[in-house]
């Protein structure tokens, strides 16, 4: 679906749940469905007051819909967003889907939307994000608190050759917090720190037609060819320094935990929301993979933090089995 069809991403702004505030997550295929189901269970497990709504696109298959329906997970159709100017993400195909993570800005039937990636796991209640002070829709994206997110880590710890040359530790906002780890648990580095780019995995949004129109206009322009990181590139370009930078604990990228990345600030007990970015995902690992060595440097086996996901999933599977659900997800 192109941007000229994008306004239809919310042609009927009716709530699919009673709550005025919701968590949402984008789902386009079944590759991430196990992640979504465990994410939903983790939100309930920590006692969140707010429901999760799955935002699905046209290509989400019938077996995926059936899995959501069996579990009573609310869902809403959204447009599959793509920029007018084609962007080649051959080296990182996951970014083709990421433009669509901007659709929560269009969900004006809700007062607050917190968008989560489906490869996240909530470890501690973070309902306070639903009341975080942000600009109201009447500000039309012109204020200083348009949305909230954690910084992107620009260290490139895997040394991906196609990443920008500027993605080095000295340009990372998290590096600036190494000397103040206590503060890093409670405050993010300023939104202008480092390369000043938010990570799109968690976005706290006040839906607004005006802001969504700004996003659509950007998607329709020629500048998207320079946006190497899809949704987060657009947001940092449209609202430079005008977003609220959350501490890492709300979007704890698994790589931050690694030795010699940002272990200086990482504390397992403080993390509220784990983000299993990059591959392999926890659900893609088998027992043989688990047995391979992990020494913090070679990273040839299962990341120890992946066990948190497996623990939560075993809990989910046991609960579902009691309810007669055993569909392999």
Residue 170 has pLDDT above 60, yes or no: yes
Name which residue leads in pLDDT, 284 or 148.
148
Task: Please state, for a pLDDT cut of 70, what percent of the chain lies above it.
Answer: 85
How big is the chain, counted in residues? 329
Q: What does the pLDDT read at residue 3?
A: 41
Q: Write out pLDDT tens, residues 116-138.
A: 999 999 999 999 999 999 999 99
Rg (alpha carbons) of the chain, rounded to whole number? 19
Residue 21 has pLDDT above 60, yes or no: yes
What tokens were used for 116? Answer: 């989560």
In the structure, what pLDDT confidence band is assigned to residue 7 with cuts at 50, 70 and 90? very low
Cis check for the bond before 280: say yes or no (omega within 30 of 0).
yes
What is the mean predicted confidence (pLDDT) over 200-217? Answer: 94
What is the mean predicted confidence (pLDDT) over 262-288? Answer: 91
Burial 294-316 (b: 16+ CB within 10 A, else e): eeeeeeebbbebbebbeebbeeb
Between the CA of residue 320 and those of 67, 89, 137, 325, what are the distances in Å? 11, 37, 40, 5
What is the mean predicted confidence (pLDDT) over 184-191? Answer: 98
Name which residue leads in pLDDT, 262 or 89.
262
Q: Write out pLDDT tens, residues 32-53.
A: 999 999 999 999 999 999 999 9
Name which residue leads in pLDDT, 237 or 76.
76
Query: Is 293 exposed, middle or buried, given 0-12, 13-18 or 19+ CB atoms closer than 10 A?
Result: exposed
Q: Write out pLDDT tens, residues 149-167.
A: 999 999 999 998 888 899 9
Residue 296 has pLDDT above 80, yes or no: no
Closest CA relative to residue 22, chosen from 72, 75, 65? 75
Q: Are 166 and 154 in contact (CB under 8 A)?
A: yes
Distance from C-alpha of 197 to C-alpha of 207, rounded to nearest angstrom? 20
Residue for token digits 């939100």?
A: 43
Q: 3-state class of 204 per DSSP?
A: strand
Q: Catalogue all structural domains in the chain, each as residue range(s) with its CATH number.
A: 3-280 (3.90.550.10)
Q: What is the full DSSP assignment across 70-103?
A: HTT-EEEE------SS----TT-TTHHHHGGGGG
Distance from C-alpha of 52 to C-alpha of 41, rounded to nearest angstrom? 10
Stated as kind and residue range, the H or E segment containing 203 is strand 202-205
Highest mean pLDDT among 50-54, 158-162, 211-215, 284-288: 50-54
């Amino acid at each position: 679906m192109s941007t000229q069809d994008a306004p239809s991403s919310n042609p009927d702004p009716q709530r699919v749940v009673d709550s005025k505030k919701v968590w949402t997550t984008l789902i386009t295929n079944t590759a991430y469905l196990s992640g979504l189901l465990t994410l939903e269970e983790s939100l309930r497990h920590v006692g969140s007051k707010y429901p999760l709504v799955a935002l699905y696109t046209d290509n989400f298959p019938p077996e995926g819909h059936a899995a959501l329906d069996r579990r009573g997970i609310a869902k809403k159709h959204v447009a599959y967003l793509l920029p007018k100017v084609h962007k080649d993400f051959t080296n990182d195909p996951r970014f083709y889907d990421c433009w669509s993570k901007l659709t929560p800005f269009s969900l004006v039937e809700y007062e607050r939307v917190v968008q989560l990636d489906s490869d996240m796991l909530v470890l501690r209640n973070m309902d306070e994000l639903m009341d975080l002070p942000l600009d109201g829709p009447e500000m039309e994206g012109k204020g200083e608190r348009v949305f909230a997110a954690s910084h992107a880590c620009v260290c490139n710890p895997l040394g991906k050759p196609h990443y920008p040359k500027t993605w080095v530790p000295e340009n990372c906002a998290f590096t600036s917090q190494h000397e103040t780890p206590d503060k890093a648990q409670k405050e993010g580095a300023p939104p202008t720190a480092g390369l000043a780019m938010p990570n799109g995995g968690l976005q706290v949004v006040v839906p607004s037609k005006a802001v969504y129109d700004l996003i659509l206009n950007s998607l329709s322009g020629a500048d998207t060819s320079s946006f190497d990181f899809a949704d987060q590139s657009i947001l940092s370009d449209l609202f430079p320094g005008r977003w609220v930078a959350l501490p890492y604990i709300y979007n704890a990228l698994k790589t931050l935990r690694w030795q010699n990345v940002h272990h200086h600030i990482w504390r397992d007990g403080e993390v509220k929301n784990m983000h299993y970015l990059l591959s392999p995902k926890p659900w893609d690992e088998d027992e043989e993979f688990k047995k391979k060595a992990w020494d913090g440097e070679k990273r040839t086996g299962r990341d120890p933090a992946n066990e948190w996901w497996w623990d939560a999933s075993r809990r989910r599977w046991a609960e579902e089995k009691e309810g007669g659900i055993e569909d392999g997800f």
